[in-house]
């Protein structure tokens, strides 16, 4: 469904991604794990069209999307839950969700999807008229996920959804991610929390200083000595 081929990204003189190739098949959960500054966020931002690669190609459902603008990529069916949630704090919860459906014109269906998001995250329904900035960290993460779902994506990019959340909440968010996947959305998940990411992933890639150094099924990597040492705390 999604394929990155030999992608290079530069920030000025900084060579942030080096010859990255990865694949996500329809229906999968694929995770990209790595330490701080490895290039995980850069990879997702490149897929989303916020950064242009200096080399390589990206295809989505057989179409080239490198070089497309961010709105075009949303339109093609890719939504991105960014690192740090990036909700609109001075707008209400409902307005945030409406913005998620910005490119859609099917009013009735949008309303239905909003109800689905509220059913999935009941707390958002109670807070729908409240400014999003007043939500707790966990609630903001739910809003960011709900907002991305409002675009009815085929592929959902998620950047460290566990960041800054208590362990119990992390489990909740991850079971929701699994549920979203089971209902038909393909997921590319970036995490530092390798443990939990590998537990739900079909396949995984490990990125170190801008290069993919390892790939395999979620199970394989969870049992790999190299991964245990570097990312799973022994």
Partner 1 sequence: MAEFIQQLINGLSLGSIYALIALGYTMVYGIIKLINFAHGDIYMIGAYVGYICIKYLNLGFFPALIISMITCSLLGIIIEKIAYKPLRNATRIAALITAIAVSLFLEYTTMFIAGATVRTYPQILGNITFKPMEGVIVNIQQIFIFAVTIVLMTVLQFIVHKTKVGKAMRAVSSDKDAAQLMGINTDKVISYTFAIGSALAGAAGILVGIYYNTINPLMGMLPGLKAFVAAVFGGIGIIPGALIGGITIGVIETMVSGYGSSLYKDAVAFAILILVLLIKPSGLLGKNTREKV
The contact set with partner 1 (CB under 8 A) reads 48-50, 69-71, 74-75, 79-80, 82, 86-91, 95, 98-100, 102-103, 147, 151
- Binding letters toward Mg ion, positions 60-89, x by CB under 5 A: -----------------------x------
89 touches, from ligand ATP, partner 1, Mg ion, none (C-beta below 5 to 8 Å by class): partner 1
Least distance between partner 1 and beta carbon 78 (Å): 10
Q: Kindly tell me which of 42 and 185 has the beta carbon lying closer to Mg ion.
A: 42
Give Rg (Cα) of the chain: 17
Nearest to 69, CA basis, from 44, 55, 49, 54 = 49
Q: Kindly tell me which of 50 and 200 has the beta carbon lying closer to partner 1.
A: 50
Could you give the residue ranges of the DSSP H alpha helices within the chain? 40-47, 70-76, 93-100, 107-120, 122-126, 137-149, 167-182, 194-200, 218-223, 225-231
- Angle in degrees, CA 20, 21, 23, rounded to 5: 140
- Binding ligand ATP (rule: CB under 6 A), the pick from 31, 41, 46, 193 is 41
CA–CA gap between residue 172 and residue 163 (Å, rounded): 13
- Binding ligand ATP (rule: CB under 6 A), the pick from 128, 130, 131, 192 is 192
């Amino acid at each position: 469904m999604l394929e990155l081929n030999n992608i290079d990204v530069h920030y000025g003189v900084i060579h942030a991604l080096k010859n990255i190739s990865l694949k996500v098949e329809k229906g999968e959960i694929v995770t990209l794990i790595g330490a701080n500054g490895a290039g995980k966020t850069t990879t997702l931002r490149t897929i989303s069209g916020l950064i242009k690669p200096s080399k390589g190609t990206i295809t989505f459902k057989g179409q080239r999307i490198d070089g497309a603008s961010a709105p075009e990529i949303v339109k093609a069916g890719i939504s991105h839950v960014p690192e740090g949630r990036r909700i609109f704090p001075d707008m209400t919860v409902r307005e945030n969700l409406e913005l998620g459906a910005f490119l859609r014109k099917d009013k009735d269906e949008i309303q239905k999807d909003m109800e689905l998001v509220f059913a999935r995250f009941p707390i958002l329904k109670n807070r729908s008229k409240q400014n999003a900035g007043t939500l707790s960290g966990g609630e903001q993460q739910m809003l960011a996920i709900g907002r991305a779902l409002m675009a009815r994506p085929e592929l959902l990019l998620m950047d460290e959804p566990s960041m800054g959340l208590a362990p119990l909440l992390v489990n909740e968010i991850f079971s929701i991610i699994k549920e979203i996947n089971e209902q038909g959305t393909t997921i590319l998940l970036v995490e530092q929390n390798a443990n939990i990411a590998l537990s739900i992933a079909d396949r995984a890639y490990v990125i170190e200083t801008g290069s993919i150094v390892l790939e395999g099924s979620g199970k394989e990597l969870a049992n790999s000595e190299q991964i245990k040492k570097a990312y799973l705390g022994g």
